[in-house]
Amino acid sequence: MPISSQQSEMTLLARAKSENASQVLKNALIGADDGEIYLENSKSESFLWDDGRLKSASYDSEEGFGLRVIAGETTGYAHSNEISQAAFDRASLAAVQAKRGYESSFDLSPAKTNQKLYAAVDPLSEPSFEAKIKSLGEIDAYVRGKNSNIVQVSVSFAASKRDIAIVRLDDDIRYDERPLVRVNVSVTAEKDGRRETGTAGGGGRQEYGDWLSEAKLKSLADEALRIAEVNLDAIPAPAGEMDVVLAAGWAGVLLHEAVGHGLEGDFNRKETSAFAGKIGQQVAAKGVTVVDDGTIADRRGSLNFDDEGTPTSRTVLIEDGVLVGYMQDRMNARLMGVNATGNGRRESFSHAPLPRMTNTFMESGSHDPQEIIASLKRGIYAAQLGGGQVDITSGKFVFQCTEAYLVENGKITAPVKGISLIGDGPSCLTRISMIGNDSKLDDGVGTCGKGGQSVPVGVGQPTLKLHGLTVGGAG
């Protein structure tokens, strides 16, 4: 019989209380600066339809806790997949080594919050296993029936529910139930011996709901097929320095990677970021405002509170081109003499939190997107970005485009393939010459890696024109 949300909450909270977690924490944090016990009970499922059949279906569950002790810049962290008094005691003995010979007064616990940004639902509970498999097969058949050029269809569903409890010294245990779903469709088409692939997907902190409706799945399949067909007709990309227009939405992944990581507190405290020590300085073109906002309802990167118990917030990072703030967890905020922003995040109970992005995006400007494209004499319109590489210290990046077009005299003339965008985040911010009035977040597919940990995030931006970006292509 499935465990209800209320039963799950009572079980996790009751176990923390019955195993005397608060007292263990109080003893461990004597003479330390900060710390907590983070308890977690999670479950997840995934389905992959590939090669015309169900290729994999998995279900995983996990529970455990992590105990953290912070003294100055030193962190002691111990974790276990056993929630018991004995495990708490063993973890405490290991974690307290961080404060050996250290004396300090303890930081105040984070403010409490009643914000509810998503429903406490279990996306694994419905639809049924059989219904999900049926949907996977139907979408495969739908796509293959649309075009004889299709040689491969991959459809995946994934869902998780993570219940967490954070024990702090104020004896108030912060509890949250975090649902998450993601749907993805990938289509490969072939023509004249050439194969190209298109993908589309989405999700958020909710039940599957409309994501598994026939209309939504067909819409994603149509979009994936459209991109594949566009790329089948693409010509080799030009190369050189030219103006580039980035589309609204998912193209914000470039902003996330090339700029966002450089605005996280740890890199700036350690002065390894290109933005270190530049608060109050003009770091971007006028009109550029960049925000990290973990409070947007149902979004993939949103949280009621972060993994330290701090309520998430709307944090302005760059305002009208001026650097005004960084994203902070509790430790780096304390060491830098500022307030935590609700950006302390961890992959699971076996990881200590780090300052991380939630939903990071650039706000709208005043230009119509068509006006921006029309302003290009010769350049590239990057409609979709794929993978890339970024050096956080310098901000230098290389990103591939999965859908791009050549623009000549203000008109889109042909799709192009093999495009790479090369530059560095700090200088790119100063090269923005036009900002669209159409800022939007991606459809809910982002995952961010840092320090060996992965967490779900959101990215976004309006249509942007960048002057003099280096484009790698065929010639």
Q: For a pLDDT cut of 90, what percent of the chain falls above it?
A: 84
Distance CA 309, CA 353 (A): 11
Q: Which two tokens stand for residue 180?
A: 């998450």
Q: What is the pLDDT of residues 4-22, one digit of tens each?
A: 445 455 578 777 777 789 9
At residue 332, the pLDDT reads 97
Distance CA 263, CA 426 (A): 11
Residues of the chain with CATH 3.30.2290.10: 5-232
Q: Which two tokens stand for residue 253?
A: 């992944």
- In what order do the strands lie in the sheet containing 150-167? 74-80, 53-71, 34-50, 150-167, 173-191, 194-204
pLDDT band at 1 (very low <50, low <70, confident <90, very high): very low
- Return the HEC string of 324-381: CCCECCHHHHHHHCCCCCCCEECCCCCCCCEECCCEEEECCCCECHHHHHHCCCEEEE
Evaluate whether 457 touches 359 at the Cβ level (below 8 Å). Answer: yes
Nearest to 48 by CA among 126, 125, 139: 139
Please state the CATH superfamily assignment of the domain spanning residues 5-232 in this structure: PmbA/TldD superfamily (3.30.2290.10)
For the chain, the straight-line distance linking the first and the last C-alpha, in angstroms and rounded, comes to 62
Q: What is the pLDDT of residues 384-398, one digit of tens each?
A: 998 777 887 788 889
Distance CA 257, CA 255 (A): 6
Mean pLDDT on 176-182: 97
Q: What is the pLDDT of residues 36-91, one digit of tens each?
A: 999 999 999 999 999 899 999 999 999 999 999 999 999 999 999 999 999 999 99
Residue 145: partners with Cβ closer than 8 Å, 6 or more residues away? none
pLDDT of residue 2 exceeding 70: no
Evaluate whether 429 touches 259 at the Cβ level (below 8 Å). Answer: yes
Nearest to 223 by CA among 255, 198, 195: 198
Higher pLDDT, 345 or 2: 345
At residue 20, the pLDDT reads 85
Q: What is the pLDDT of residues 102-147, one digit of tens each?
A: 767 677 889 999 999 999 999 999 999 999 999 999 999 999 999 8
Nearest to 231 by CA among 377, 369, 384: 384
At residue 4, the pLDDT reads 45
Distance CA 79, CA 295 (A): 29
What pTM, to 2 d.p., does this model score? 0.94
C-alpha angle 51-53-59 in degrees, rounded to nearest 5:
115
Amino acid at 214: E
Q: What angle do the packed helices 21-28 and 85-95 form, to 10 degrees? A: 10
At residue 322, the pLDDT reads 98
Write the burial class of residue 119 (CB in 10 Å: 0-12 exposed, 13-18 middle, 19+ buried).
Answer: middle
Mean pLDDT on 322-336: 97
Distance CA 58, CA 69 (A): 35
Amino acid at 389: Q
Q: What is the pLDDT of residues 218-238, one digit of tens each?
A: 999 999 999 999 999 999 989
pLDDT band at 475 (very low <50, low <70, confident <90, very high): low
At residue 9, the pLDDT reads 55
Evaluate whether 288 touches 318 at the Cβ level (below 8 Å). Answer: yes
Mean pLDDT on 203-217: 95
Residue 160: partners with Cβ closer than 8 Å, 6 or more residues away? 42, 43, 44, 45, 123, 124, 179, 180
Mean per-residue pLDDT of the chain: 93
At residue 167, the pLDDT reads 95
CA 142 and chain centroid, separation: 30
pLDDT band at 165 (very low <50, low <70, confident <90, very high): very high
Distance CA 25, CA 35 (A): 8
Residue 416: partners with Cβ closer than 8 Å, 6 or more residues away? 234, 235, 236, 237, 238, 380, 404, 405, 406, 473
Distance CA 297, CA 117 (A): 4
